[in-house]
């Protein structure tokens, strides 16, 4: 499988997980955390092997540069870190990578067959990360949190029984060298990743990660030899190689003392619309065919005026009415005079004319329905309504 296809496959698997599993907004890591991850590893093939001295010399012929290709292998990492709560994180990491040899060529040997063996590396790295918060870019909270990181450290390489048989003369290229601590080399890496919280599992601080890593080591040396069919060494040297790896991983990160996520903002319920105060109605009655105010009528109007000031009414409606003992035209005019008499008394008691609305309905709205021509005291009235 090519590196490009593998990265695409890893992305296709990881993104639905990242998009579908997170149910809470990603938070900056605060305090101590631990992490673990595993995935696929590809050696940047072909890997170049160059003799550190004069190279192999077989029968007077110098054998120089060779190259190796490796199958897809695997990688695992463990880390211990600290989050500063502002997107920055620092951690110490241990890592392991393993890839099997696929093919060997070069060294001025005929095509090499029956190749095999493994290349393994062990590293300790110090990493620094920055987690991006979409809210800082005005995009609101998100369940997906991208991050980037860089690291530097120290790594050892182990070449385990790497071999290839020359088709021309049966000579065997062999490397089986395990570095000691003093033989390790400087290592470096760059990291890009995506994270999403798994708080839906009920564990605050647990996060799923998906990331790509570029990992390199400088100036590795491995002991190499060429042997004949009787397994006798006929040439040897030290081979130098620069090693570069590409890794795609899924992992888990757990912040031990991560504060719980902030509760979602509470949207205040809109204040209920003020309920208008119920209208208060006062009835002022008149004698038959009269529009002047009785003593009792003035008392009722005075009570209405006093309450209008107390409840701060916004409108005072004055509506005049008449009974059906006269003609409709006469009763319309009579109801108007009654309404005007009441309005005048309200103004005399301190109510402004602009606060009063005056209407007249004649005999069209009786309080007590009657036949035409009937005198009915309840219908000879003016209604005062405070709103």
pLDDT of residue 56: 57
Same domain, 112 and 148: yes
Does the residue 43 lie in any domain?
Answer: yes
Residue 87 domain-assigned? yes
Q: Is residue 204 part of a domain?
A: yes
13: pLDDT strictly greater than 60: no
Question: How many angstroms separate the CA atoms of 236 and 65, rounded?
Answer: 13
Other beta carbons within 10 Å of 88: 14
Q: Going by C-beta distance under 8 Å and a sequence separation of 6 or more, which residues neighbour residue 243?
A: 43, 44, 47, 121, 157, 216, 217, 220
Residue at 127 is within a domain: yes
CB 238 within 8 A of CB 221: yes
Residue 271 falls inside a structural domain: no
- DSSP E strands, the chain: 30-43, 47-51, 56-58, 61-63, 66-70, 73-84, 88-106, 112-131, 145-166, 172-178, 185-197, 206-227, 233-255, 280-285, 316-320, 356-360, 381-386
pLDDT at residue 72, as a whole number: 93
| 255, 271, 300 - which closes a domain | 255
- Do 217 and 337 belong to one domain? no
Please state, in angstroms and rounded to a whole number, the distance separating the CA atoms of residues 23 and 200: 6
Share of the chain above pLDDT 90, in %: 38
Task: Flag the least confident range among 20-29, 217-226, 236-245.
Answer: 20-29
Pair 172, 225: CB distance under 8 Å: no
Quote the CA–CA distance of 301 and 281 in Å, as a whole number.
Answer: 11
SS3 state of residue 336: helix
**Predicted local distance difference test score (pLDDT) of residue 135:** 67
Decide if 189 contacts 216 (C-beta within 8 A): yes
pLDDT tens digits, 71-102: 999 999 999 999 998 889 999 999 999 999 88
Q: Report the candidate in 128, 181, 124, 182 with the shortest Cα–Cα distance to residue 154.
A: 124
What pLDDT sits at residue 58?
Answer: 54
Say how far apart CA 207 and CA 35 lie, in whole Å. Answer: 9
Task: Specify whether 284 is located in the same domain as 190.
Answer: no
pLDDT at residue 241, rounded to an integer: 78
The reply to whether 262 falls in a domain is no
d(CA 135, CA 130): 15
Tens-digit pLDDT profile for residues 192-238: 999 998 877 777 889 999 999 999 988 777 777 777 767 777 766 66
In percent, the amount of the chain with pLDDT more than 70 equals 79
Q: Specify whether 83 is located in the same domain as 194.
A: yes
- The reply to whether 15 and 73 lie within a common domain is yes
From residue 23, how far is each of 34, 202, 263, 361 by CA, in Å? 22, 11, 13, 67
Are residues 187 and 99 part of one domain?
yes
| Average pLDDT of span 278-285 | 85
- The pLDDT confidence band at residue 6, using thresholds 50, 70 and 90, is very low
Mean pLDDT over all residues of the chain?
82
Contact between 144 and 119 under an 8 Å Cβ cutoff? The reply is no
Which helix H or strand E contains 8, and what residues bound it? helix 3-21
Interval 146-161 mean pLDDT: 91
If one counts the domains in the chain, the total is: 2
Which CATH number goes with the domain that contains 309? 3.30.1330.60
Residue 243 sits in the same domain as residue 285: no
Among 19-28, 209-218, 223-232, 314-323, whose mean pLDDT is lowest? 19-28
Is the pLDDT assigned to residue 21 strictly greater than 70? Answer: no
Residue 347 falls inside a structural domain: yes
More confident residue, 135 or 7: 135
Residue where a domain stops, chosen among 221, 255, 289: 255
- Determine contact, residues 240/221, Cβ cutoff 8 Å: yes
273 found inside a domain: no
For residues 244 and 299, state if they share a domain.
no
Same domain, 284 and 232: no
Instruction: Starting at the earlier edge strand, list the strands of the sheet with 356-360.
Output: 280-285, 381-386, 316-320, 356-360
Which of 255, 270, 302 lies at the terminal end of a domain, its last residue?
255
Angle at 36 between CA 31 and CA 38, to 5 degrees: 155
- Same structural domain for residues 243 and 305? no
At residue 32, the pLDDT reads 95
Report whether pLDDT(312) > 60: yes
CATH number of the domain encompassing residue 74 = 2.40.160.20
Note down the domain range covering 54. Answer: 3-255
pLDDT class of 20 with cuts at 50, 70, 90? very low
Find out whether 190 and 246 touch, Cβ atoms under 8 Å: no
Query: What mean pLDDT is predicted for residues 268-282?
Result: 72
Q: Residues 193, 342: one domain?
A: no
Residue 251: predicted pLDDT: 96
Q: Are residues 187 and 317 in the same domain?
A: no
Q: Residue 312 CB: number of other CB atoms within 10 A?
A: 8
**Residue 303 — left, alpha, or beta (φ > 0 → left; ψ -120 to 50 → alpha)?**
alpha
């Amino acid at each position: 499988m090519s590196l490009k296809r593998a990265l695409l496959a890893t992305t296709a698997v990881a993104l639905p997980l990242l998009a579908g599993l997170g149910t809470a907004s990603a938070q900056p890591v605060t305090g101590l955390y631990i992490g673990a991850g595993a995935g696929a590893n590809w050696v940047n093939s072909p890997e170049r092997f160059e003799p550190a001295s004069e190279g192999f010399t077989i029968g007077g012929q110098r054998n120089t540069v060779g190259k190796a290709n490796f199958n897809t292998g695997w990688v695992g990492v463990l880390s211990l870190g600290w989050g500063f709560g502002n997107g920055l994180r620092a951690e110490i990491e241990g890592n392991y990578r393993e890839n099997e040899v696929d093919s060997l060529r070069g060294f001025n040997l005929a095509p090499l067959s029956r190749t095999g063996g493994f290349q393994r590396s062990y590293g300790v790295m110090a990493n620094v990360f920055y987690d991006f918060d979409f809210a800082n870019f005005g995009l609101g909270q998100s369940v997906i949190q991208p991050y980037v990181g860089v690291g530097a450290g120290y790594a050892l390489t182990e070449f385990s029984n790497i071999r290839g048989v020359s088709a021309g003369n049966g000579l065997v290229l062999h490397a089986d060298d395990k570095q000691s601590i003093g033989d390790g080399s400087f290592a470096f890496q760059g990291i890009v990743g995506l994270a999403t919280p798994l708080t839906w599992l009920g564990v605050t601080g647990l996060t799923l990660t998906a990331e790509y890593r570029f990992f390199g080591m400088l100036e590795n040396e491995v002991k190499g030899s060429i042997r004949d069919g009787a397994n006798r060494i006929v040439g040897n040297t030290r081979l130098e190689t620069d090693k570069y790896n590409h890794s795609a991983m899924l992992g888990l990160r757990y912040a031990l003392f991560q504060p719980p996520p902030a509760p979602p903002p509470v949207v205040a319920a809109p204040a209920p619309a003020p309920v208008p105060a119920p209208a208060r109605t006062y009835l002022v009655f008149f004698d038959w065919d009269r529009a002047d105010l009785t003593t009792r009528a003035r008392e009722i109007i005075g009570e209405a005026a006093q309450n209008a000031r107390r409840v701060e009414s916004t409108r005072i409606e004055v509506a005049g009415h008449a009974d059906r003992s006269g003609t409709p035209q006469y009763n319309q005019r009579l109801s108007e005079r009654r309404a005007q008499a009441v309005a005048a008394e309200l103004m005399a008691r301190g109510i402004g004319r602009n606060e009063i609305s005056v209407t007249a309905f004649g005999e069209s709205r009786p309080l007590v329905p009657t036949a035409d021509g009937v005198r009915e005291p309840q219908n000879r009235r003016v209604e005062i309504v405070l709103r």
